[in-house]
Amino acid sequence: MNVTRLRPARTSDRSAVQDLIVSERLLLEGVDESFGEAWVVAVRGDRVVGCAGVESHGGHGVLRSVAVAVDERGSGLGRRLVENRVAWARERGLETLSLLTLTAADFFAHLGFREVPREDVPAAARVSGEFTHTDCVTARAFLRRLD
């Protein structure tokens, strides 16, 4: 039985991660700029089945592109990906982690993120494409303090 494991993203994962992000109708803009050590992938066998990344902006992070393949949903993988990136952000001394979502508000609320008005997200984080892209205008903002 193949076990799903998390590992840092590699350059060779970029295409699979982009395909997963597109399949989940998440914003692809900005992935190339942040892709690397700030990303984690979930792998089953040799297949990327999940991903999550963090953009760092002046001591604040933006959690982005948390995506899990359809056949892996309900396994707790999404939670593992988010917890991994929260730990990563803490280790790097980020003060907050924010995100935008159209469809997963309850999921992120259960993981310690609090819904806030966009203005309550640190200004440094709001420069992210996640916050400036027109496709995200109606997305709900969430924030988690990491201290």
| CATH code of the domain in which 94 resides | 3.40.630.30
Residue-wise pLDDT for 82-114, tens only, equals: 999 999 999 999 999 999 999 999 999 999 999
Question: Of all residues in the chain, what percent carry a pLDDT higher than 70?
Answer: 99
Residue-wise pLDDT for 125-139, tens only, equals: 999 888 888 777 889
Burial degree of 117 (CB within 10 A; 0-12, 13-18, 19+):
exposed
Residues 6+ apart with CB under 8 A from 25: none
What is the tally of structural domains in the chain?
1
Query: Residue 76 is part of which domain span?
Result: 4-145
Indicate the pTM of the whole model: 0.94
**Is residue 121 over pLDDT 60?**
yes
Three-class DSSP category at 40: strand
What is residue 1's predicted lDDT score, i.e. its pLDDT?
56
